[in-house]
Structure formats: structure tokens, C-alpha cells
Amino acid sequence: MALPPDLPDLGNLMAQAQQMQERLLAAQAEAAEAVVEGQAGGGAVRVEVSGAMEFRSVTIAPAAVDPNDVEMLQDLVLAALHDATAKLEELQRDVTEGLGLGGEGGSGPGADLGGLLG
């Protein structure tokens, strides 16, 4: 019995999937090594975090320390943490979109696995 002519070459698809996985792992390792800085209060509070979510440092300008307004300093630290994690999410999104994995919307080279998934 002959196979239909439009059947994808499974060996080729497996090789492409393996290459894509290797590129993804390399990109994830590279992103984990990256360090981003989140800021708040015009840079009065800065937080450094690695792509592996390892918080490396917190820097607080002396002018941001007001013993009568500790809540403001707490809010600035929290805002800097949010800024840093947002930058990490953007970095990770850029890495996966750069690999053509389909990102949002599912487009990009290889996103449909040669039509195998529809």
C-alpha cells in the first residue's frame, strides 16, 4: 500500500524538532545568564536580577530613605521588583519569538510543524 504523497517526512520533522529544542535550550541558558535592572523613583531604588530569577542586588539612594515615610521606600522597592520581573518576561518573550516558536498567534517558521498539527 502506497503512502499518500502529502504525508510529511517524519524523519525530517524529528530532526527539525531536535534542532529547535537545542536552539531553545541554548537561548534559555543565555537568557538565564542575562542580568536586568528594575528601577523606581527615577532610579532612587534599583534591583538587579538574573534571567534565572536570582536577585543579585538592591541599591537605595540615601535620599530615598526617610524614617518618617518607610511605606514610600517599601513601595519603591516593590515597584523596582515589578519593573525587573517585567523586563525579564520581555527578555524571555524576545528569546522564544526570536527562535520562531510561534509566540503569540502561533506564527513563525516551524510553528505548525509542517502541517502535522493542523
Which domains are assigned to the chain?
33-99 (3.30.1310.10)
- Band (pLDDT 50/70/90 cuts) for residue 37 is very high
- If we measure between CA atoms, which residue out of 111, 116, 100, 96 comes closest to residue 11? 116
Q: Which of 113, 103, 107, 99 lies closest to 24, judged by CA?
A: 99
Q: What is the pLDDT of residue 118?
A: 38
Pick from 80, 23, 72, 26: nearest CA to 56 = 80
CA distance 39 to 58: 10
Q: What does the alpha-carbon distance between residue 38 and residue 89 come to, in Å, rounded to a whole number? A: 12
Q: Match 523586563 to its residue by C-alpha cell.
A: 87
Residues in the chain: 118
Q: Inform me whether the pLDDT recorded for 104 exceeds 60.
A: no
- Whether the predicted pLDDT of 113 surpasses 50: no
